Amino acid sequence: MKTPSLNRINAVLIFCIALVVIMHFARPFLIPLTIGIILSTLVLPVCKKLERWGWGRGWAILVCLFLILVAGAIFITVMTAPISSFNEDLPALESSLDEKLAQIQLFFSQKLNISIHKQNSLMEQASEALSSAGNYLAGFVTGFFGFVFDSILVLVYVSFFLFYREQYETFVVKLNDDNDPEDVRKVLRQVSRVSTQYLIGRMLSILILAIMYTVGLTLVGLKHALLMGSIAALLTIVPYVGTALGGAFPAAATLLAGAGDANPMAAIGVIIVVQLLDDYLLEPFIVGDQVNVSPLAIIVGVVVGGLIWGVAGMILFIPLLGMAKIVFDNVPSLRPYAYLIGQQEQEEKSYVQKVKQWVQAKFQK
């Protein structure tokens, strides 16, 4: 049996190290560029449809940019509108939180024999950590203009990718002149499709989750349910980790701050029900396996993406992994890597897969 030569292993390691170093130090350039590429694939069907209706390419691109701006404005409005009322209730929330902390201190003192002095010392250390977090938040606010500049840069990238898309496609075809041009174009269409399907599915899932969280938490009497539900749903854009954090956020707010007239157990029950619906309905039916990447590869991608590009990397590396999987599948020398990160077919279908196929069969009748 042939084994990989030492030179080949060293070449792969050197390539991976060089790639990570380049991606880390070039992230101010690569992150907006990657977002621009993914957004351009997302609005490309709209642009093509408008052009088929007789619109000029420039006008079609302007409409696509307008749609992106509208979507961004709606998102910012939904996230910031409840904050003003939340700020008004901050003094009451702080008072409630102080009472809860006093009860917790008494519990630890009586049950675990931890003195109040020791607990106060630990709380002072936590306050210092929160103070440093506040400094970080101030730095984040001062970076607002950087965010605006990056947003404009992303829109510029999107417009150029849409306008010169045939030129870029021909460039990739020329790079692979040993292969059939139609096969290369087919791979490019698959790469574009996987990012589009994943993003649309994920955004729809976040919207449905936000509605379910908000309605459920409102029914149990939780104050600021819209804000907490929106944040909890938005966190699910980071696979696995975000889902857990999204559920923990409103639960902690209810238990510690006693927000509104909500029963803590009822609020936690709502969170559990929504999480189950997300796991067994939204994920398999709406998001599905568009990226066709194994859960382990997704977790590794989230961790590595976070280390290299921060939060943006945790989000962007999932569709990038799906794109890489398609490229690996179509390059013979890279197929072992596609097999490594790919989602393998199971011999026995899971319960969710059976339900999904049953529902699809009913709708097709």
Over residues 190-218, the pLDDT tens digits come to 888 888 888 888 888 888 888 998 898 88
Domain match, 259 and 314 both? no
Domain match, 102 and 198 both? no
In a domain, 272, yes or no: yes
Domain match, 77 and 98 both? yes
pTM comes to 0.75
Domain match, 228 and 248 both? yes
Q: How large is the angle between the packed helices 225-235 and 57-88, nearest 10 degrees?
A: 130
Number of domains in the chain: 3
Q: Residue 283 and residue 216: Cα distance in Å, rounded? A: 19
Domain match, 159 and 48 both? yes
Domain match, 159 and 59 both? yes
Q: Domain span at residue 76?
A: 25-118+152-163
Q: Tens digits of per-residue pLDDT, 117-151?
A: 555 565 555 555 444 444 544 554 455 566 778 88
Distance of CA 29 to the CA centre of its chain: 20
Q: Residue 205 and residue 236: Cα distance in Å, rounded? A: 9
- The parts of the chain modelled with pLDDT lower than 50 are 1, 129-134, 136-137, 140-141, 347-349, 363
Q: Residue 57 and residue 136: Cα distance in Å, rounded? A: 43
Domain match, 324 and 277 both? no
Q: Residue 14 and residue 262: Cα distance in Å, rounded? A: 56
Domain match, 296 and 275 both? no
Give 157's DSSP letter.
H
Q: Residue 258 and residue 336: Cα distance in Å, rounded? A: 53
Give me the pLDDT at residue 348, please: 41
Q: Say which residues have a Cβ less than 8 Å from residue 264's Cβ, sequence separation at least 6.
A: 251, 254, 255, 258
In a domain, 327, yes or no: yes
Domain match, 266 and 312 both? no
Domain match, 300 and 321 both? yes
Domain match, 242 and 331 both? no
Give me the pLDDT at residue 96, please: 59
Domain match, 283 and 295 both? no
In a domain, 351, yes or no: no
Q: Tens digits of per-residue pLDDT, 275-314?
A: 888 877 777 676 656 677 888 888 888 889 989 998 888 8
